[in-house]
């Protein structure tokens, strides 16, 4: 009897323990959603946080996910194509080969664009060369390629953005599709690299002509004027670029309807570009049944419009603030759609940026802060003019891209003048410009006295056949541009400090100020998905993110 009583007690304890076990958790997510904000400074997360909605995208990720608050771009130049490639490959231009949006290709002896591919055709309602694009210039795999490999190509991978490079490079070489916006037609298109014709659902989407509807609505602020004055400078400043050709710039922009059937490029410089992108992304979710298969799918979304708004109006403008308030709304709705499509706990999402941005130099000067402008085209033309006059060299400088000059070795050789003499002349000439911190030959980079951080960033950005011969480093606050608007591209924190938020399946709640890098994103995703890192990945797993 005593033995029976002991056995009965053990059974009860065992049953009780089993009843308290947690419900089984899926061994893999149904969907990964990569979100890249084109031109987002990390400080926007906290500067604008009081204005973000509780059900918006940013607070949802920050309150329930994990934030890496000290994430840096580990190379220069900090531009769109390099950023998107680095995020998804975990690599740097020195390895993956995408050294800029454009570069002078020494092997081809011509200016090249990052995703151009003359061997293919556009698919959809395209104009010009908008559809002649593919990822073939990217020399390594992406995390989305590795997911396809790991599942014997059963995972579905799709990229979408306003910019072609924002859709194509993240989606990778083996993607099922990539879709981008054709500014000539107002439609989302693709290329024959991916498909012979657009899917029916996208043709139907394009027929809706949402751009025309948005033009008719115009663009006005969402919050009170007092709110914008509290966070920004005046609505209209002389150093802002007049993006809409208005005789009276500033809010409200009620005359956008003049662009209907005439100019479909203007919409991308408004928050409606983000709305268009989000609507296409949600259409992809539903029509392509993302997250509904047996294997993990991947949707790569890039919001390009913050870049266009930021370039034109700057980080302290009403337009930029309004753009982010409305983007927060769009992200919230996107997460609602994801919850409905695949389930709250069944997807991973990360949000980051391809680069940040400098303040407009005139704004900096207005507040007694360092800053100014440098015009590379003016300098290139002046150098060529002076070398023509002094040494009879025709077009001594072929290109001034990505803060690097490519010299015309053939022309210099024909002149009979020692190449080093010409290089030294160019360096000495540029050193006289007040905007320049340093200038030197790139093949002497490692022996040039400078801070190790800058040296490492430049070395990571160097790819011999696609990089220049002479490197220019601008002083803090100086940009390559005109007197209105702003840009990015340097090693400085204002261009290189980006947000990195994680949310969903496999992600714990919290934050870290440990230094992390853009290259770590792909490595961390590989760990979460239990797949191989991309072929050029140099990043490390951010272990703090993982449950």
Q: Which residues are catalytic?
A: 80
Q: Cα(243)–Cα(266) distance, rounded to whole angstroms? A: 8
Bridge-based pairing of strands 470-474 and 436-441 is antiparallel
User: Any alpha helices (H) in 288-345, and if so which ranges?
Assistant: 305-313, 318-342
Task: Supply 456's token pair.
Answer: 């490492």
Q: Are strands 66-68 and 510-512 parallel, antiparallel or unpaired?
A: parallel
Contact between 351 and 35 under an 8 Å Cβ cutoff? The reply is yes
Q: Would you put residue 289 in left (φ > 0), alpha (ψ -120 to 50) or beta? A: left
C-alpha triplet 271, 133, 398: angle, nearest 5° = 95
- On whether the CB atoms of residues 486 and 310 are closer than 8 A, the answer is yes
Q: How far is residue 488's CA from residue 253's CA, in Å, rounded to a whole number?
A: 26
Mode of pairing for the β-strands spanning 177-182 and 187-191: antiparallel
Per-position b or e across 409-433, b if 16+ CB within 10 A of its CB:
eebbeebebeeeebbebbbeebeee
Question: Which alpha helices (DSSP H) does 269-317 contain, by range?
Answer: 272-287, 305-313
Cα distances (angstroms) measured from residue 450 to each of 78, 98, 379, 440, 456: 19, 25, 24, 11, 10
Q: Which two tokens stand for residue 291?
A: 């997250």
CB within 8 Å of 115: residues ≥ 6 apart:
81, 133, 134, 135, 137, 164, 165, 168, 169
């Amino acid at each position: 009897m005593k033995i029976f009583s002991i056995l009965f007690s053990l059974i009860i304890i065992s049953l009780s323990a089993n009843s308290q076990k947690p419900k089984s958790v899926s061994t893999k997510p149904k969907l990964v959603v990569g979100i890249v904000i084109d031109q987002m400074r990390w400080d926007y997360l906290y500067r604008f946080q009081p204005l973000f909605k509780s059900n918006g995208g940013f607070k949802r990720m920050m309150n329930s996910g994990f934030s890496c608050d000290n994430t840096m771009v580990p190379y220069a130049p900090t531009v769109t194509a390099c950023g998107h490639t680095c995020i998804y490959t975990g690599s740097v231009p020195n390895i993956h080969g995408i050294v800029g949006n454009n570069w002078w290709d020494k092997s081809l002896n011509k200016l090249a664009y990052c995703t151009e591919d003359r061997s293919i055709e556009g698919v959809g309602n395209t104009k010009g060369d908008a559809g002649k694009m593919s990822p073939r210039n990217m020399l390594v795999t992406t995390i989305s390629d590795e997911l396809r490999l790991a599942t014997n190509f059963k995972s579905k991978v799709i990229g979408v953005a306003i910019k072609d490079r924002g859709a194509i490079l993240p989606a990778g070489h083996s993607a099922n599709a990539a879709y981008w916006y054709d500014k000539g037609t107002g439609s989302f298109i693709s290329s024959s690299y991916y498909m012979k014709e657009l899917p029916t659902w996208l043709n139907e989407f394009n027929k809706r002509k949402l751009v025309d509807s948005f033009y008719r609505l115009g663009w006005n602020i969402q919050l009170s004027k007092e709110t914008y004055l509290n966070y920004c400078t005046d609505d209209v400043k002389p150093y802002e670029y007049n993006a809409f050709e208005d005789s009276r710039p500033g809010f409200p922009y009620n005359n956008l309807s003049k662009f209907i059937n005439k100019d479909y490029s203007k919409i991308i410089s408004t928050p409606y570009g983000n709305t268009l992108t989000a609507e296409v992304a949600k259409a992809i979710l539903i029509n392509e049944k993302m997250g509904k298969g047996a294997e993990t799918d991947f949707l790569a979304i890039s919001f390009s419009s913050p870049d266009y708004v930021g370039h034109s109006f700057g980080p302290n403008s009403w337009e930029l603030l309004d753009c982010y308030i409305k983007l927060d709304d769009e992200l919230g709705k996107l997460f609602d759609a994801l919850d409905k499509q695949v389930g709250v706990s069944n997807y991973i999402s990360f949000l980051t940026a391809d680069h940040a941005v400098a303040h407009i130099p005139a704004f900096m000067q207005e507040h007694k802060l360092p800053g100014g402008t440098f015009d590379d085209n003016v300098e290139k033309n002046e150098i060529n003019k002076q070398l023509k006059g002094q040494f009879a060299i025709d077009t001594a400088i072929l290109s001034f891209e990505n803060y690097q000059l490519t010299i015309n070795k053939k022309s210099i050789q024909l002149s009979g003048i020692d190449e080093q003499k010409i290089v030294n002349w160019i360096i000495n000439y540029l050193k006289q410009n007040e905007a320049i911190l340093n200038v030197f030959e790139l093949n002497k980079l490692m022996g040039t006295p400078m801070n190790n951080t800058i040296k490492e960033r430049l070395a990571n950005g160097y790819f011999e056949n696609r990089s220049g011969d002479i490197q220019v480093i601008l002083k803090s606050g100086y940009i390559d541009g005109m007197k209105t608007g702003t840009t990015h591209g340097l090693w400085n924190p204002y261009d290189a400090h980006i947000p990195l938020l994680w949310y969903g399946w496999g992600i714990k709640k919290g934050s870290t100020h440990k230094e992390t890098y853009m290259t770590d994103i792909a490595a961390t995703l590989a760990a979460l998905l239990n797949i191989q890192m991309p072929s050029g990945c140099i990043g490390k797993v951010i272990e703090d993110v993982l449950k």
